[in-house]
Amino acid sequence: MEKRMLAALALPVAAALLWAMPPVRAESAPSQEELYYLAAEVVDTQDGQTRFAQIDGENPTLYIYTASGIFPDHIPYLLTMDTQGTDSPADDTVLVVWGCMSGAESSSPVQP
């Protein structure tokens, strides 16, 4: 009998606590309009940073990506970029680095 009584009291108390809690806002993911792909290649690696450059284009832009692994310089890359909601590519952020591993000299994975 006591267990039922405790359960009957616990449910309204839990509901009241949930109702009183402020709503939690999750960060929204970038919209599809803010994301784009950039074909790039490694142009420099030093001090734990890898510099990628646009492969084609009249004015290639350098994007600096802080690497936690080794990015071989003999394969092409596709970068998933976020525009940060602006028109200027200068503040764009690299979200994902995709590397083409077919034809690479080594089949070992990227080492952290």
7-62 pLDDT tens trace: 555 556 555 545 555 665 555 566 667 899 988 888 888 887 888 888 666 777 77
Please report the pLDDT score of residue 108 as a whole number: 47
Please report the pLDDT score of residue 24 as a whole number: 54
Q: Would you tell me how many other CB atoms lie within 10 Å of the CB of residue 92?
A: 18
Nearest-CA neighbor of 98 among 83, 82, 110, 111? 110
Q: For the whole prediction, is pTM greater than 0.95? A: no
Rg (CA), the chain: 24
Q: What is the mean pLDDT of the chain?
A: 73
